[in-house]
Amino acid sequence: MNAAIEAVGLGKQYRVGKQSRWALSDCTLSIPSGHVVGLVGPNGAGKSTLLNLVTGLLQPTTGSVSVLGGRPAADASQLARVGFVAQDAPVYTALSVADHLRLGERMNQRWDAGYARHRVERLGLALDARAGRISGGQRAQLALTLAVAKQPDLLVLDEPAASLDPLARREFLDDLADAVAGSAGRDRPMSVVLSSHLVADLARVCDWLVVLSASRVQLSGSIEDLVAEHRTATGNPSADLEDLVLAGLTAGRANTRTSEETTS
């Protein structure tokens, strides 16, 4: 089975006038299918850039990225296999909730109408409510419903719970875990990449971790294995996921300082 995401020397450089900046640099990683991946890093680390490269919204400056064995957004078939919820929970503000469900059904061959309708009802979203008139949290829930109902092989979520209150965020993550569990019987179980600043969110649903800092991958691998290695390396048997993430972020900052001192 192909990896869900495979990147080799992946980089993205932005140019503004005569200035240039690497938002992502020398990113090499391989994420097996069937995992829920937590992507964590400080603001400006390159998380959204990486996700936009994975979904084909950006083209790389250097290196390559493969998604489900193919080029991101290469054709309609590839697009159908990937669901994406951006940070601003994009929906059509002039359309009603029911309009979104009908549009999703028309555009996606594997659309699960029963799941979409049941989830909307459980969330208390009125079918005739326009998306522009519901709350930011409700729009995020609608966007997740649409993304999961298309039954993608890869679901990419960029800070999807940022606008949710703690209770709604927990329900959101529980629903995500249920969706992953429900896909277990498919030929290719759904893989998920979840970007979040909240380590507690990652601990709740993720089994794979990628830490980005200073535009580079600092850690990537199974959370269970990485935590075990960190406990051995530090001699701290009670070290947890938060300790591991902090160590990865600290390493990124140290590498940045070393690079700056070398080039100065």
* Tally of domains within the chain: 1
**pLDDT beneath 70: ranges in the chain:** 1, 252-264
3-state secondary structure at position 147: helix
Q: For residue 102, give its domain range.
A: 5-263
d(CA 124, CA 121): 5
Q: What is the pLDDT of residue 55?
A: 96
Q: What is the pLDDT of residue 163?
A: 73
Contact in structure between 55 and 228 (CB atoms under 8 Å) = no
Which positions ≥6 away from 47 have C-beta within 8 Å? 39, 40, 41, 158, 195, 212
Q: What is the pLDDT of residue 254?
A: 58
Question: Whole-structure pTM over 0.85, yes or no?
Answer: yes
205 membership: H or E segment, kind and range = helix 199-205
| CATH number of 239's domain | 3.40.50.300
List the structure tokens of 35.
């995992």
d(CA 14, CA 9): 16
3-state secondary structure at position 104: helix
Q: What is the pLDDT of residue 260?
A: 42
Q: What is the pLDDT of residue 255?
A: 56
Which positions ≥6 away from 167 have C-beta within 8 Å? none
